Structure 1
Amino acid sequence: MHLLVRENRTLDEQDEAEDLGLPPADLVVLSFTESDLLGLLHAQERLKGASPSLQVTSLARLRHPMSVDLYLETTLAQARCVVVRLLGGLDYWRYGAEELAAWCREHKVPLALLPGEATRQGASTPASMPDDTRLAELSTVSEEIRNRLNGFFQHAGTGNMEHALRLMASLSGQGADDGAQPEPLPQWGLYRTVTGVPVEKVTAAGRSDREATRLPSDRVLRATLVFYRAHLMVGDIAALDLLAETLAARNCTVEMLFVTSLKDPVVAKGVAEALSRSKPDILLNATLFSSRNPQGESPLTVADAPILQLLQPGATQAVWERSPRGLSRSDLAMQAVLPELDGAIATLPISFRAEAPPGLPAARVPYLPGIRQTADRALAWARLRYLKPEQKRVGIILSDYPGAGLTQETGHVAHAVGLDGFASLASILTLLRAEGYQTGHAPLPQPEELVALLAQTAPRPLFCVATYRALAAGLDAAFMASVTQAWGEPEQDPCVQDGKFHLRAIELGHLTLAVQPDRGRQADRKALYHDPDSPPCHAYVAFYLWLRSVQRLDALVHLGTHGTLEWLPGKAAALSASCAPAVLTGDLPVIYPFIVNNPGEAATARRRLGAVTIGHMTPPVMQADLSPDMQALERLIDEYAEADGLDPRRGALLRKDILEKASRTGVLSESGVRPGEDDEAEALARLDAYLCDVKDLQIRDGLHIFGQNAPKAETLAQAIFQACRPQSERLQSEAQTSEKQSALLEEITARIRQSGPAEAQALLAALAGRFVASGPAGAPTRGRLDVLPTGRNLFTLDPRALPTPSAMVLAGKMEKLLLTRHLQEQGEPLTRLVMDLWGSASLRTGGEDMALALRLMGVEIKRAESTGHVTGFEVIPLPVLNRPRVDVTLRISGLFRDAFPDQIALFDQVVSAVANRREPPDWNPLAASAKGLDGEARTRATARIFGAARGTYGTGVEEALQTGTWADQAALGKAWLEGSAWTYGGGRDGGQDADALATLLGQADAVLHVQDHAETDMLESPENAAHEGGLAAAAAALGASPALWHGDTSRPDTPRLRATAQEVARIVRGRLANPRWIEGMQQHGYAGAAELARGLDALHGFAATLPERFDQQFDMVFAATLGNEACDAFLQRENPAAREAMRARFADVWQRGLWHPRGNSVAQVLESGEQA
């Protein structure tokens, strides 16, 4: 009998091993919480040698198993008592705790393992601890001793810490136990009130003078700052004090409340009551995690005021300055992701950890630029509460893809995913006028008038260069130097004429409506595209300076998903004062209506702009149905099914007729029939399945208008209901009877109808300086009922739990389908795969793509029992896996890189573990590729995570496709390779290795991109072609021809897998050339016409990058648009710029040989621009 060994790894092994070199001592205390360690050191000083020697150590530096082993051999060599306080429980330091317990038992050293969380139910005695019996089982001291020690640490303070040291000394045999019990201290309370200075006493500077605030002269704003009692006990609150004093000097009284934990019911109740009494205008929260209780309630929301999350990274300032991420993996979760559940608004860091020897605690050092900007942001949000609507100056910004420049209008102004931008703007104007905002005296412009004013009128001279220079001198010097270095002097900017910047903007009373300019383009754009330090151009900087300093805005509304501001250079989170988004927004409150199904990009806006992202509804949907020629085929197939077996002669005639008609219309090739391989029966089966696939395709029926109800709520509710049924236990149990089904449909419909009004109210609340409730982001039609109603500040999943258990299960379905289908279609098993991973999809699905990659490599996930967080993995032995492992390479998006550092580290560890296994080469191709290699050669051979350079986004193909600056498919493939050649994981953080990527892609059997919901498709945007098609072009440029797969998990229980070219053809038939979809878009005028143009651009992108030809598809789209008299007239009337863009695009693909049109009228339309 042979035992199968399962290799286990923990995430702790991703950190570098280090020898802290700390000297041994009698008493050793370890904790993740530096206030514990600082408190002990202060107590030790007060005891003045009356206590045995003490060594304290931060567990954050002892994550790697080898670090733990070295620590046991050195620092613990003379230990006589050890105490460990584990924030998060055993699973956060499991290897260390178990090894330490074994060492203490072997050496008969007293050991107490304590929980790091606060006692439950607000107990004032140490008798109750958070339940983790494993800590008690590993400890060697009695439960009574553990409870006392726990109480000393929980209540903290110098006295309790002195008692803790005395008790530890007695355990070490150096003194008697005096029996002291923990001294309860207030769990929450008022530390101090810093009184604000009235407006008339404030020096006129910046936005602090009376004119800028526009507040009554005796008005003093109120803020409440909530922070941990533990920091107060050790005197580590210099940054908090300084922030409070900065606010007080600028017209704001600050109450500073200390708490043990906002999750403690007693503390939560007390804080809620205090906020109800004080009624602050702004809340500043310096606690970690989310303050929500199991019922989803937070004491901080009682004040109905904005909550600013105060960032205090655990790194030193020097480390933070070098980091493109801004926050460590743990800080990202504790200080960004989880506070977002409370609706918190991001700020700049206000302090950093002081320099200290490795493993030793350090106090925090204030960061003055962050404190100033955080104070500015707090005051700006607070002012919104007291300015009357008619006083407020609000800017509403529309995006422009691609950027229009000075004279060219592209037909894409106000583009936003799933949103009619101009209709939404008109809706918001109506809402604001009704609320009392100053919108001028004339009738409000209708959507078509807004189009004429903002899209079809030349930019206006708004901002003189001399004023720009004067104001820019007040911006961050390093940032402005980079702008000038990249773009020259302001006078050289293409948007400058006659000494003035020309911008697209109009004013309606106190409202400024403007179009965001292009961030900058120049002839040598290729050289700049992947430079993470490439700043925006002068016109872009001037635009935001004009809004802030000339228009003197009080708030900024960025309308729809998404603009370019949040994608400018800078850190991913915890921005510096030099990061472009922070420089340009300054203190302006940013309110960002955002489509509810895009959690990743919403998170980017929240973390980089400090935005309140108001989720809005997705567009209405409908089934595509079939075109007349496909309906005729469907009827013939039905006739054949009836005749087959009853009338063989008639069946044979029908079969021949069906295949001839399908071939003539191009449907046969689209259905995936393989000439010479599939017999007639197989061909008919594929054809029938394809017709059903197109017929059942879910497509948009128009666009959403912000703040308005979906016009076809019942249809959308039915789509959501059908998506939910297979996967929701709740729906399965409630949908047993027709009556319950009807009730459930009514509930879904009601939530949809609540969404429009909720969006409008959330916008008004944000502009009024009130709290906007948080809500999850996700795809409604994937069964996410919890995202409805919309109108909430979007939050995402805790990345530490990804991939989730359900994601691992659902990925198993795609794993089986992919392996089976690839073998059937290609004739060989899948051994090497390149996957295209996106951040938003990972957040929507709980990490299904990553789960699929792990399953293909033969790995299972391990989790913490208490939290569900991923703690490690297990490599499945080949006899159990019962198939070869797949060597998986990931091409990650920039958003995935920023949002998922833990998953990157996890996958890199998996690669290392699988590469080190001794298994047959044909069963473990990854290990075979690294066999016999050491050092740098092995590091390069095991690189399996690639993406864009740090701080950049995209693939490098987007710009080439947009501008037409590409010669052939090989050039696009080269651009993708150059833009994706940076490696991640295993200490490779952003190193460039194009050769390694080229080798892996050249050897790949297949590439895969998975689409996770049906509210969008691959022809929605040219960006899809840049990623999915760019990957294919890169493979072709290397002389490789991997299978190109497009996965579809919009119905997770029944995933689909199609050839990428087949999916393009399906979407063209089902949506892009579908008269029903076009009619829906025509209801939205200018915006609808722009959607038609974007679809053509996306088709062009795939035609340029994929090996297949799409002549049939271009014919169909042309016939449905420019070749259709009614549609062409619509384009000419509503959006002539989009119509011209489509004409130019058709002409370009024709001239490049990507399209050989069949119609004779095509040439006349494309060459003359006239209607067909």
Structure 2
Amino acid sequence: MPGSACLHVVIVTLDNHLSGAVERAAAHFVADGANITIGFHAAADWDRDPAALTRCIADIGRGDIVIATMLFLDDHIRAVLPALQARREDCAAMLGLMSGSEVVRLTRLGAYRMDKPAKGPLALLKRLRGSPKPGGSSGAGQMKMLRRLPKMLRFIPGTAQDVRAYFLTLQYWLAGSDDNVVGMVRALAHRYAGHATRADSPRDYPDVGIYHPKLAARMTDRIDALAAAGAKQGTVGVLMLRSYLLGRDTGHYDGVIAALEARGLRVIPAFASGLDSRPAIEAYFMKDGRATVDAVVSLTGFSLVGGPAYNDARAAETVLSQLDVPYIAAHPLEFQSLQNWGAGRQGLLPIEATMMVAIPELDGAVLPSVFGGRADGSGDACTGCGRGCTFPTSGLSREMRSCPERAEALAAKVSQLVALRRSARAERKLAIVLFNFPPNAGATGTAAHLAVWESLHATLGKLSAEGYAVAIPADVDGLRERILNGNAARYGADANVHAHIPADEHVRREPHLAAIEAQWGPAPGKQQSDGGSIHVLGAQFGNVFVGIQPAFGYEGDPMRLLFEGRFTPTHAFSAFYRWLREDFSADAVLHFGTHGALEFMPGKQTGLSGDCWPERLIGHLPNIYLYAANNPSEGLIAKRRGGATLVSYLTPPLAEAGLYKGLNDLKALLERWRSSPSDEERRVLEPMIVASAAASDLEAGDIEALWARLYELECELIPEGLHILGAPMSAKTRAQLAAAGADADLDMDNRELDALVHALDAGFVRPAPGGDLLRNPEVLPTGRNIHGFDPFRIPGTYAMAEGARQADELIARHTATAAFPETLAMVLWGTDNLKSEGTQIAQALALIGARPRFDGYGRLAGAELVPLAELGRPRIDVIVTLSGIFRDLLPLQTRMIAEAAWMAASADEPLDRNFVRKHSLSHAAKHDCDLETAALRVFSNAEGAYGANVNMLIDDGAWTDPDEIAEVFERQKGYAYGRAGVPTRHAELFKTALAGVDLAYQNLASCGQPDLVVQKGDRRGWPPPAVGRTGPSVPWFEP
């Protein structure tokens, strides 16, 4: 307050990147005797340290000047908004900068209040903010206007001077050097707190420029200030955030620059203001419209155009396509410490995975990689890899640090991509990996919806035509014979044995031998081995080796999870990838079809470390992955855990399913019953119809309804045949898709083989959504890099309406023959929700009586309850089980469903109208736990684990009692995910919840699958014995 003995300034912002500048400014005021103190608080700290939020709220309560900036995430806004509102009228000044509208409206500077209608010069604020236009670049223009406005407002009296102070504060903060932070505080203290201190004008810095730690001034706008050495090995453009550079918080950037230069690469580290990197690309990475770099590495952690609050993927794709070089988006850790990340199995936190991985993927980014972060100040070693780095700190500052192992790994991957790009095709060595699952079942060389051998032959032919040194067998049969048979009989192998790795050599060269032997016994192991050596299966065709990925190794013991953290790949699996890297010396690897096992090996879910098995196996090899266009969720796992650039292929044409023999017999009986005029004949036919329907797992309660259901089954669209890579779409297929309603250019050329060659040239592979062609025609053309939908926009508007409709239909169908359900068990898969933009998520919310809550930017922020009066029915208690892939790819949605359940359990509503609350209160009383625990309704695997292990148990016949299946399922899926998205073991709660289920249900979204189906025992679904096994028999819903 004016006249206070000591003025306290409180700054609340998103992260810590200006914490050093603020601390140095605070030290300056102490040394200067200015009687000003500064409290700095980063919202990124609050999730992992609730005490930090408590300190922040308390500090706001005593702040004389309060500055809230970069608060745009709903969780952050809701955490401090009440404190800001309470302090607003009692402090000297409050400023909301570059934040959600709720925060910005709290601005109060003298007579100016941001929550009042803007008039006259005040309306300039709206002009400055503008509205993002696809493809437009507003950042540079906004910065120019920001510098002009204070000059324009200088001589306008009254409230305009407070508006001028607001713009000047923005200028100071956006150019947040030590001098400008001091100037910002001095200016506000002088004008609004009566301090005699005077401020210098904001110091200007280049909006676009070059940075290098070895430059005398560290920043310049002249590229010739950089040394040109290393250009013969290639040139890499690196994008950085200007604010980190001005705040002198560059340790993480410096580590990557040094690692790239150690690889002999010339590095051009560039920055731009306004969260739009295109000006830097155009100024320093291009000349005359062509790339002057061999790769671009973004270290910003955000989208290329728009930053954390907004992204323009179309504009990003345009400029990146002009560059046509690999675009790598690496990310620093801002929401957790390096120690937290290193020790955790999750890897990235949900907000990090969404903002720093999923959003850049929309631009076409690949190779998501951690490269640095902040230490927690404890001095403890990071356990992300074997190096055990420690990060000593000085004072209170938490500077960004390089993670040496991750920075070096990133540099090695970039270096190999650059080398691939600069190499001659005729000299490249390419490894193509085929899959073999399940082993010993004739499955070698298979992939989802792909005619592998015909596609492989076409690929080899294309590579040869494009200049690769390839010896192509005369026909498909000859190719298959070389790989599958060859000398296989001599060695008793599943395919041709191309190479032998002696056991003693494997022992000498395998860096992770101890871990593998602890799991699989002494080398060479039992898989793909003759007892003395490990077999590498496949055949070589010139400079192209076609290999068979070894089996996973778990088939002998179904009780042990393939994906548990303690598991390792087999000796053969690890040796295979080592042989590709070190013996064959591949320049790139092409995984051929959907999908293999590499990307599912143990390790963190996202943000992998050097100790994660996918990283150990693929190493630094460029990884191109031919992937089915209709499977985005598992494709994203391959991108994020296997470092893959995806090249999509079309799924096969569709045809009516028709009926197999048992259903044909049932159809004949029904046709006879429907056409018979004789009641007596109908009575004779009815028990035969019931028996025939039961044999086909169909209910025969109403014969006309049975007839309708049979007709639906006969007319369903299912994939017909297998797709051949590069083959044009047939006239029949075009007609089928057109008849089925596909809104797409069905005459466009098939670009898959061209795209594959381009990816192997290390060019930019354009991004594209994945999913069903009928639901999303933008899947075409194939041959592009698959991404999911914007996770901040799931569920979409149509999905919410459709989910609500399907929820009503489900309830209506169930109540037609039974009482209104109190509890429903529901399965959610990642693939189906990405295909349908979240229809199944919306349906789960609708059943609870909830809906998504979106913030002022239109991004998903959480859940809100639909009032009972509007809902018009009781809230259903929905027990949700998630596939591991859903958990990994949709963390915000996981938290939203958990929040909806918590809100329903907490609502003060009649128990006969709110079954979530009824059952939560009952469980809390019975088990003496709090309501937060009793309201947990979202279950999945532990972090880093996948699958329910039920299929393996059933397939191996390793069970004698149905309860054994239920126990395995409950044990594997018994981890509850609450509002924070953190799993905790709650198998007993899971078991109790399932025991009371009235209806078990799954909604599969596919053009070849009806929307409403029941899941009856898949490894990712509900095994029937687990549902209601301790209570009455549960009717399985058959729509």
What TM-score range do you get, normalising by the shorter chain?
0.7 to 0.9
Find out whether 1:463 has 2:494 as its counterpart.
no
Aligned partner (choices 890, 903, 908) of residue 893 of structure 2? 903
Check 1:295–1:876 CA distance in 2 against 1; reply closer, same or farther (3 A cut).
closer
Write the distance in 2 (CA, Å) between the matches of 1:629 and 1:30: 68
Corresponding residue of 1:693: 712
Counterparts of 1:403-482 in structure 2, within 5 Å, are 404=439, 409-440=440-471, 443=474, 446=477, 448-449=480-481, 450-453=483-486, 457=495, 459=497, 462-473=500-511, 479-482=512-515
Q: 1:337 aligns with which of 354, 358, 362?
A: 358
Deviation at 1:97, TM superposition (A): 6.1
Q: Matches of residues 825-840 of structure 1 in structure 2 within 5 Å?
A: 825=817, 827-840=818-831
Counterpart Cα distance in 2 of 1:469 and 1:921: 64
Note the C-alpha offset of 1:773.
Answer: 1.1
Structure 1 CA distance for aligned equivalents of residues 735 and 242 of structure 2: 48
**From 626, 631, 637, the counterpart of 1:604:** 637
For residues 763-794 of structure 1, give each alpha carbon's deviation from its aligned partner in whole angstroms, at most 9, with x where no partner exists: 1111112111111111112x201111111111
Partner SS, residue 709 of structure 2: helix
The one-letter code matched in structure 1 to 2:815 is: L
**Inter-partner Cα distance in structure 2 for 1:818 and 1:626:** 26
Give the Å deviation of 1:672. Answer: 2.7
* Other-structure match for 1:1162: none
Indicate if the aligned counterparts of 1:377 and 1:588 stay in contact, CA closer than 8 A.
yes
Conserved? CA contact 1:112–1:140, under 8 Å: no
Q: Bigger shift: 453-462 or 912-921?
A: 453-462
Q: 1:493 offset after TM fit, Å?
A: 3.2
Q: What is the Cα deviation at residue 894 of structure 1? A: 0.8
The answer to whether the 8 A contact 2:654-2:718 is kept is yes
Matches within 5 A, 1:701-712: 701-710=720-729, 712=730
Query: Out of 59, 70, 88, which is 1:86 matched to?
Result: 70
Which structure 2 segments of 5+ residues have no match?
Answer: 1-5, 100-128, 130-137, 150-158, 216-229, 306-311, 379-392
Deviation at 1:568, TM superposition (A): 0.6
1:245 to 228, 246, 258: 258
Pairing partner for 2:421 from 369, 385, 388: 385
Alpha-carbon shift at residue 432 of structure 1 (Å): 1.1
Aligned residue number for residue 374 of structure 1:
410
Q: Which residue identity does 2:436 align to in structure 1? A: D
- Aligned to 2:208, which of 188, 204, 213? 188
Scaled by the length of structure 1, the TM-score of the pair is: 0.74
Structure 1 distance, partners of 2:1016, 2:298, is 39
Of the structure 1 ranges 54-63 and 934-943, higher mean CA displacement relative to structure 2 is found in: 934-943
CA–CA separation in structure 2 for the residues paired with 1:140 and 1:670? 76
Match of 2:700 in 1: 673
Change (3 A) 1:32 1:69: closer
Q: Secondary structure at the match of 2:355?
A: helix
Are the structure 2 counterparts of residues 343 and 1029 from structure 1 closer, same or farther at C-alpha, using a change threshold of 3 Å?
A: closer
Any conservation in 1 of the 2:655–2:718 contact (CA below 8 Å)? yes
What is the CA–CA distance in structure 2 between the aligned matches of 1:1024 and 1:296, rounded to whole Å?
A: 45
SS at match of 2:782: coil
Cα shift at 1:1025: 3.8
Partner in structure 2 of residue 53 of structure 1 = 37
Q: Which amino acid aligns with 1:790?
A: T
Pick which of 713-722 and 698-707 moved more.
Answer: 713-722
Separation in structure 1 between the aligned mates of residue 689 and residue 912 of structure 2, nearest angstrom: 41
Query: How much does 1:461 deviate?
Result: 5.0
The whole-number CA distance in structure 2 between the counterparts of 1:148 and 1:651 is: 91
Among candidates 182, 186, 203, match of residue 162 of structure 1 = 182
What secondary structure sits across from 2:585 in the alignment?
A: coil
Q: Using the alignment, how far apart are the partners of 2:85 and 2:767 within structure 1?
A: 46
Q: 2:16 aligns to what?
A: 34
Residue number among 722, 726, 742 corresponding to 2:740 in the alignment: 722
For residues 53 and 1017 of structure 2, the distance between their equivalents in structure 1, rounded to whole angstroms, comes to 50
Residue matched to 1:112? 95
Matched with 1:1064 is none
Are 1:1018 and 1:1025, in contact at CA under 8 Å, matched by a contact in 2?
no
Aligned length: 940
Matched, 1:544 2:577: yes
**707 and 224 in structure 1: CA distance in 2 versus 1, 3 angstrom threshold:** same
Q: How far apart are 1:486 and its partner, in Å? A: 1.3
Offset, 1:120: 6.1
Do the aligned partners of 2:176 and 2:243 also contact (CA within 8 Å) in 1?
Answer: yes
Alignment deviations for residues 51-99 of structure 1 (CA, whole Å, 9 cap, x no partner):
521111112345799979945763134422111112538x564435643
Provide the rounded CA distance (Å) in 2 between the counterparts of 1:815 and 1:505.
50
Aligned match of 2:375: 354
8 A Cα contact 2:330 2:371, kept in partner: yes
Q: Superposed, which structure 2 residues align to 1:287-326 within 5 Å?
A: 287-292=300-305, 293=312, 295-298=314-317, 299-314=319-334, 315-326=336-347
Residues 444, 376 of structure 1: alpha-carbon distance in 2 compared, 3 angstrom cutoff? farther
Give 1:361 deviation, angstroms.
6.0
**Cα–Cα, structure 1 residues 847 and 664, in superposed 2: closer, same or farther, change >3 Å?**
closer
SS of the residue 2:501 aligns to: strand
Q: 2 CA distance for matches of 1:1036 and 1:326?
A: 35
1:1007-1026 per-residue CA deviation (whole Å, 9 max, x = no partner) reads 11111012468999x99842
The whole-number CA distance in structure 1 between the counterparts of 2:665 and 2:602 is 54
What TM-score, normalized to structure 2? 0.83
875-884 vs 1030-1039, greater mean Cα deviation:
1030-1039
Cα displacement (A) at 1:1032: 1.0
Identity between Structure 1 and Structure 2 (%): 24
Please tell me the residue identity of whatever aligns with 1:462. Answer: H
Is the deviation greater in 248-257 or in 235-244? 235-244
User: In the TM superposition, what whole-angstrom CA distance separates every residue of 1:658-711 from its partner, at most 9, and x where no partner exists?
Assistant: 75775575489765322xxxxxxx52x21331232123111221011222223x
Q: CA deviation at 1:626?
A: 5.5
1:792 pairs, out of 784, 787, 795, with 784
* Deviation of 1:143 (Å): 2.1
Selected match of 1:822 from 806, 811, 814 = 814
CA contact (8 A) 2:437 2:444 kept: yes
Helix, strand or coil at the partner of 1:922: helix
User: Structure 1 residues 485, 390: closer, same or farther in 2, change over 3 A?
Assistant: same
Report the Cα distance in structure 1 between the residues aligned to 2:21 and 2:452, rounded to whole angstroms. 56
2:503 is equivalent to residue 506 of structure 1 = no
1:1164 corresponds in structure 2 to: none
Change (3 A) 1:222 1:945: same
Measured at CA, do residues 71 and 805 of structure 1 come closer, stay the same or move farther in structure 2, by a change above 3 Å?
Answer: farther
CA offset at residue 192 of structure 1?
3.7
Distance 1:248 1:264, change over 3 A: closer
2:296 aligned residue: 283
CA contact (8 A) 1:194 1:254 kept: no
Q: 1:183 to 1:599 in 2, by over 3 A?
A: same
1:971-982 alignment, distance < 5 Å? 971-982=964-975
- State the secondary structure of the residue aligned to 1:490: coil
Change in Cα spacing, 1:1017 to 1:704, as seen in structure 2 (3 Å) is farther
Distance in structure 1 (CA, Å) of the matches to 2:1010 and 2:708: 19
- For 1:496 and 1:1041, the matched residues in 2 are separated by 48
User: Is the contact made by 2:374 and 2:400 (CA closer than 8 Å) also made in structure 1?
Assistant: yes
1:893 maps to 2:883: yes
CA drift at 1:381: 0.6
How far apart are 1:954 and its partner, in Å?
1.0
* Greater helix share, structure number: 1
Q: How far apart in 2 are the matches of 1:968 and 1:1017?
A: 32
Show the counterpart of 2:747.
750
Which residue of structure 2 lines up, in the alignment, with residue 646 of structure 1?
none
The alpha-carbon deviation at position 591 of structure 1 amounts to 0.6
